[in-house]
Structures are given as C-alpha cells and as structure tokens.
Structure 1
Amino acid sequence: MKNKKIGIISDTHGLLRKEFIKELKGVNLIIHAGDMGNEDILNELNKISKVISVRGNCDKGNLKKILPFSEMIEFQGKCIYIIHDINTLDIDLKVAGVDIVVVGHSHIACKMEKDNVLFINPGGAGPKRFNLPISIAILYFESNELKIKFKYIKD
C-alpha cells in the first residue's frame, strides 16, 4: 500500500467551505457521502481531485438523477462501500468483501470497526446543525496501515 489519501466529506447542503477546500488539496480521491445540495459543489470538488459521490435524502432534481444511491470502489487494494444513511445499507458487507464503509447523514463524525469492517462518517461539512461540530475526514493509506484524521472548523 503506497502513501495515498482520500478526502471524505458529507452533508455539504450547498456549502463548500474554503477551509475544507484547503484540506482537500493534495488528496488522491474525494468521497462525498451525500446531501451535496447542488451541482456547484460537485464541480468545485472535481477541480481538486476525482470525486466519487452518492446521493443523500436531501439531494433533489438533477443530483438525484446523476448520483447513485450507493457506490462500491477499490482503492489501494481495499473495497470501499459508500452510502448516505447507514440505516439504508443494502448489501451483505461480508459477502461483498467490503473493508471500509463511508456514510454521512447524521452529521456526527465518527469511526468504528465492526466485524473487521472500518466504518467512517466524516460528519457534516456544510451549514451548522444544532450544536454539532463541522468536519470532514482524511483517510491515510500508509504502508500497511490505515489512519483516519478528522478536520474540524469553528463556525
């Protein structure tokens, strides 16, 4: 596994903050886990790096048409499954050979491991919601190790 990194962002709801644009520069891939809000976000992210995105429950109109409900990709030998809301998980992760699941929806940044699968929610990156922090995540592929770092900003 070479030293690579993925920027993980979710729940922008039409707001791409300049602090997060700076954090995402230099990543090898950006994953957006839904509730993008509008196509301008997708266009801006594509200027930084290749983007893989799924639609969220708030993505309407053309975004609902162009973004898939879920996505599975391979990156650095790891199978990554992306879906907006973990409660709508539509596959058997073990049978599919999934190593990492990326979700959004809750606006709560967290990571956890269950049954040898790493689950990552980058938190909400867009407008402030309740008293929740505003965040994204960077997933580092270093040697044979995965590291996740959450990046927070104050609103």
Structure 2
Amino acid sequence: MKEIGIISDTHSYIDDKIVEHLEGCDEIWHAGDIGDQYVMDELKKVAPTKAVYGNIDDGNLRVEYPEEAIFEIEGVKVYMIHIGGYPPRYTTKLKKRLSELKPDLFICGHSHILKVIPDQDRKLLHINPGAAGRHGFHRMRTLIRLRIDQGKPKDLKVIELGLRSKI
C-alpha cells in the first residue's frame, strides 16, 4: 500500500500547511505550474516527488521535468500531464493518448478547479487536485491524498488548505 499526495498549480508558493498535509506520503505527484524549483526542493524533503511542467513553468523547469509522466505504482498505471480537460471533453490529441496508454489514473492540473471524475468510457479515475498556490481565480487552496492498495486507488481525501486570499 502506498500513500500518495497529489498537488498542482503552486505557482512558486509552498507553505507549512502544504508540507504538513503531505507528511507521511510515500510519494508526491505535482501536476504542473510549479513556478520555481524551490517548491520541488521543499516537496522532495517530504517524500520522493514526481512532476510534470505546466504552461507557466520556465525553460529550467521544462528541462528538469517532462511534459507528461507515465508510470506504474502498486499495479496502477498513471498518466499525468498539466493540461488535460475533463471527461468526456478531452482534446483529440489527449483522447488518442488516453486510448494508447489506457491508464487507471489520469492526473492533471491547470484549471485550478478540484475535480474527481470516474471516466466510465475509459475505465479510469480522472483527478485534478485544484490549486495549492496563491495565484489564480480559485477561492480555496486544495490538494488530494489517496492510497493505492492492491491495484486500486482508495480512501481519497480532499484537503482544503485555506482561502487563497487569507495566507
């Protein structure tokens, strides 16, 4: 069993609340718009961290992190990219990629809107953890924790980090 923290859209911001809620995770997955390497350095102090770059990330972050991450953990195939859309309205390119990869979990960010949606057509769980940073139009800063056990994601928890404007 693995405990996973899923975060996105930090936009160069990390605070004690983020760190506190990710402590105890076996891995952290950052779905892009990191903003600054400092954020990743701090997350890596908490747990091994995988990340993809987002549309605001500069050339240095784009060299360090890929556009997409494809990996398996505890029998669950994961596909992570920053801009993903929502089922069933994925872009043509993304529909093709999901059909090729057939992931069990699809992780994205970008919208700053937390959504967890079972995609019945593709037999996957779509997760957007919302935004943990201070920049953007979102009201509540969020992240997600879940467990992966015996090939299945379970015990998903939405964590509210506080209002974006009250930091």
Shared topology, TM-score over 0.5?
yes
Structure 2 equivalent of residue 127 of structure 1: 134
Distance across 2 between alignment mates of 1:18 and 1:118: 29
CA distance in 2 between partners of 1:120 and 1:50 (Å): 20
**Residue 74 of structure 1: aligned partner:** 72
Output one character per residue of 1:97-127: Cα deviation in whole Å (capped at 9) or x when no partner.
3100010000111100112110001100001
User: In the superposition, relative to structure 1, how do residues 122 and 145 fare at CA in structure 2: closer, same or farther (>3 Å)?
Assistant: closer
Of residues 14-23 and 145-154 in structure 1, the stretch that sits farther from structure 2 once superposed is 145-154
DSSP-derived class of the 2:148 partner: strand
Which contiguous aligned blocks of 4+ residues in structure 1 show a shift greater than 3 angstroms? 142-145
Q: Distance in 2 between matches of 1:61 and 1:90?
A: 27
Tell me the CA shift for residue 146 of structure 1.
1.8
Q: Which amino acid aligns with 2:112?
A: H
Match of 1:98 in 2: 103
Match of 1:151 in 2: 159
The one-letter code matched in structure 1 to 2:155 is: K
* CA-based RMSD: 1.7
**Aligned equivalent of 2:23:** 25
1:16-95 equivalences under 5 Å are 16-87=14-85, 89=94, 91-95=96-100
The structural deviation recorded for 1:65 is 1.6
The residue type equivalent to 1:129 in the other structure is G
Give the conservation status (yes or no) of the 8 Å contact 2:74–2:149: no
Return the offset for 1:90.
Answer: 7.1
Amino acid at match of 1:25: E
Structure 2: unaligned runs, 5 residues or longer: 86-90
Q: Equivalents in 2 of 1:125, 1:26: separation in Å?
A: 18
Q: CA deviation at 1:73?
A: 0.9
User: Counterparts of 2:6 and 2:66 in 1: how far apart (Å)?
Assistant: 17
Cα displacement string for residues 47-73 of structure 1 (whole angstroms, at most 9, x for unaligned residues): 111010000000013112211000101
In structure 2, do the counterparts of structure 1 residues 64 and 82 end up closer, same or farther at CA, with 3 Å as the change threshold? same
Identity level (%) = 35
TM-score normalised by L of structure 2: 0.85
